[in-house]
Amino acid sequence: MKVAQFASFGSPAKVIECVKVPDLNDPKGNEVLLDVVACPINPADVLNIEGRYGVTPNLPARLGAECVARVKKVGSAVDDFKEGDIVLPLDRENWVQQKIVSDKNLILLPSNVDPLQLSMLKVNPATAYLMLKKYVSLKEGDWLIQDAANSGVGHCIISLAKLEGIKTINVVRRKGLADELKNIGANIVLEDSENLAEEVRDLTNAANIKLAIDAVGGNQVLRLGDCLAEEATILNYGLLSGKNIEMTSYQTVFKRLILTGFWLMPWLQNMSREKVFELYNHLAALIDKNILYVPIEKTYNLEEIRKAVAHSAGYNRSGKIILTPNGPF
């Protein structure tokens, strides 16, 4: 079978490669053999290849934080899954054609939902949901502001906030995205600028904004902080700019802004198995109802992994890049 892996850190398009490895044996006991159907390329994957992620893997390393898969065979002790079932594996290393997983680490998914959308279930929707629910108590009519609003997480935040009646200010880096984001429920879409705070005050009638969600870092956080009310929270979950966060003493001392970070991995590790299953079943139902939807720009097979990661790292994408390790379905 084929897998994508890298043996040294560096430019993703140069160090990642598709290699052949021995086929897997049949599953035993509570093991399940899976055919990987689709897996997205996330910013965390790119950071991992570059050696800039929070956890450094042992080399050579296989990546892929999430995927959707089809059950091929089950072990003799497996009762809850059968051949052909569509499942969400809760482990990693998903840029492969096949894998063996314990049945305890699988969630059964609806079989009539677009598997490309289901392939993005584990990371982006869960990140958006937990950031909205676990940090600041927002009620119907409240505002939040986010950057990278056209990202996968950004789309999910807009859709989930709309469900709760929470209004969103969505900051983007290029023109032409307003219609797309407003179609899924964005209230305000603004191109980033030095006048961001003034524009936000004018358009929201100087609303008391208590939450900013940041994926960019750098001086973007300065501009988000200027849009916020006193004692508001800035929640950082990414570093798309590649630069350290910037804030002023005025923001931290006199406005008493709270800066904190979000990383999905420890959240999932600290949740009970029942709560994890409950979370993903809830989010899968929202995908099934088309409430959560992330645009997809292009799919690639595993042999095109270098093209895929280079495309994923580009700034002008209009959707996710998805790998289909076993070809189109």
In the sheet with 61-62, reading across from the earlier edge strand, the strands are 16-20, 2-6, 61-62
How far apart are the C-alpha atoms of 176 and 230, rounded to whole Å?
32
What pLDDT score was predicted for residue 83?
98
Q: In 3-state terms, what secondary structure has residue 135? A: coil
Tell whether the model's pLDDT for residue 315 goes beyond 80. no
Residue 71's pLDDT band (boundaries 50, 70, 90)? Answer: very high
Residue 281 lies in a domain: no
For the chain, what is the mean pLDDT? 95
Question: What type of residue is 328?
Answer: P
Cα separation of 318 and 179, whole Å? 13
What CATH number should be reported for the domain holding residue 16? 3.90.180.10
214 and 309 inside one domain? no
Task: Answer yes or no: do 103 and 134 share one domain.
Answer: no
Longest dimension (CA), the chain: 64
Is residue 188 in a domain? yes
pLDDT of residue 78: 97
Considering the domain architecture, whether residues 109 and 140 belong to the same structural domain is answered as: no
Residue 314 pLDDT > 80: no
Give the bridge partners for 189, in sequence order.
Answer: 170
Tens digits of residue pLDDT in 101-119: 999 999 999 999 999 999 9
Q: Residue 129 is part of which domain span?
A: 125-264
For residue 308, give both structure tokens.
């895929």
115 and 27, same domain (yes or no): yes
> 171 and 149 in one domain?
yes
pLDDT at 55: 85
pLDDT of residue 251: 97
Q: What is the pLDDT of residue 245?
A: 96
Task: List pLDDT tens digits, range 18-35.
Answer: 999 999 999 999 999 999
Distance (Å, whole) CA 36 – CA 221:
38
Within 8 A by CB and 6+ apart from 177, the residues are 149, 150, 189
Render pLDDT for 239-292 as a digit per residue (tens, 0 to 9). Answer: 888 899 999 999 999 999 999 999 999 999 999 999 999 999 999 999 999 999
| pLDDT band (50, 70, 90) for residue 317 | confident
HSE at residue 103, side-chain half, CA atoms within 13 A, is: 20
Q: What is the per-residue pLDDT for 38?
A: 98
Would you say 97 and 24 are in contact if contact means Cβ atoms under 8 Å apart?
no
Q: What is the pTM of this model?
A: 0.94
Mean pLDDT value across residues 199-228:
98
135 catalytically annotated: no
130 and 115 fall within a common domain: no
259 shares its domain with 315? no
Shared domain check, 196 and 239: yes
